[in-house]
Amino acid sequence: MLDLTWGGETLRLLPQKAAFLPDHHMLLIADAHIGKAVSFRRLGVPVPRGTTTDNLQRLDELLGLHPVAHVVFLGDLLHSAHAHAAPTLAAFGAWRERHARLEITLVRGNHDDRAGDPPPWLGIRCVDEPLPLGGLALCHHPQPRPGRQVVAGHLHPGARLGRGLDRVRVPCFHFRAGVAVMPAFGSFTGLHPVERQPGDRLVAVADGQLFDVPDRLVPAR
């Protein structure tokens, strides 16, 4: 874990590609993309099964590790309308029943616009961005918001570590002036290369650990 101050709040970065606001008992998740695999299979693309189960199991792990009262999904909770398929919603619904007292908010993202809001029986409050919280603006799109510091998703940021044949691409948290971009939480998502600018901070997620990426290490590509 790595604690830093952002928008006047303690923002705790987690190696499970999530963040926690301890003063609010709030877990932040970006880009879960539940149902992405089934969406691809509906298009005839052979992709792995079990990604929804994996996402929900990792959420369970986080809820067991931290005193979470409220989960905020920073957009792209559901990948497409195909995520409303009965097996996917059944798995999500069973998870929701196990956490019935948990408050859940979705800050709508671009995929949510296409997928539609989750069914009402899942008990998820859906709002448009930004969702203000003290000095923070919780968003999907990583765009500056005057007077607040943004926490967002959307870009699936990644960094490249090492050089030559020994290089590897890993997810990362990307901090730039007024905007923090979280890594994608979903287990079936790609990485977008970070175009690092002077003053940016990259915190990589690798082998269950977090570490700052020095300026001399180049972005993912």
DSSP letters for 111-174: HHHHH-PPPGGG--EEEPSPEEETTEEE-SS---BTTBEEEE-SS-EEEEESSGGG-EEEEEEE
Per the prediction, the chain carries an average pLDDT of 86
pTM for this prediction: 0.88
Q: Give the pLDDT mean for 154-178.
A: 84
> Is the pLDDT reported for residue 168 higher than 90?
no
Task: Name every residue whose Cβ is closer than 8 Å to that of residue 150 and which is 6 or more positions away in sequence.
Answer: 130, 136, 137, 138, 139, 142, 143, 144, 178, 179, 180
Which amino acid belongs to residue 79?
H
The pLDDT score that the predictor gives to residue 1 is: 85
Query: Can you give the pLDDT at residue 36?
Result: 57
**Is the pLDDT confidence value at 213 over 80?**
yes
In angstroms, what CA-CA distances link 202 with 55, 104, 205, 214?
24, 28, 10, 8
88 falls in which pLDDT band (50, 70, 90)? confident
Residue 92 pLDDT > 60: yes
Looking at the predicted structure, is the pLDDT value of residue 188 above 90?
Answer: no
Kindly list the domain boundaries of the chain, sorted by start residue. Answer: 2-212
* Alpha carbons 203 and 136: distance in angstroms, whole number: 19
Structure-derived torsion over alpha carbons of residues 177, 107, 154, 150, reported in degrees to the nearest 10: 0
Reduced to 3 states (helix: H, G, I; strand: E, B; else coil), residue 94 is helix
More reliable by pLDDT, 195 or 105: 105
pLDDT at 219: 45
In the predicted model, what is the mean pLDDT of residues 105-133?
91
The share of the chain scoring above pLDDT 90, in percent, equals: 61
pLDDT of 2 strictly over 80: yes
d(C-alpha 219, C-alpha 18), whole Å: 21
State the pLDDT at residue 220: 45
Comparing 11-25, 80-94, 148-162, the range with the smallest average pLDDT is 80-94
Q: How far apart are CA 158 and CA 184, in angstroms?
A: 9
Asked whether 203 and 212 are in contact (CB, 8 A), the reply is yes
Q: What is the pLDDT of residue 207?
A: 84
Sign of CA dihedral 8, 149, 208, 97: positive
User: Among the ranges 34-43, 75-84, 181-190, which has the highest mean pLDDT value?
Assistant: 181-190
Classified by CATH at the fold level, domain 2-212 comes out as: Purple Acid Phosphatase; chain A, domain 2 (3.60.21)
Distance in angstroms (rounded) separating the CA atoms of residues 59 and 63: 6
DSSP 49: S
Q: What is the pLDDT of residues 28-61, one digit of tens each?
A: 999 998 875 555 445 444 344 546 888 899 999 9
Residue 180 scores a pLDDT above 80? yes
Residue pair 38/81 in contact by the 8 Å Cβ criterion: no
The whole-angstrom separation of Cα 161 and Cα 111 is 30
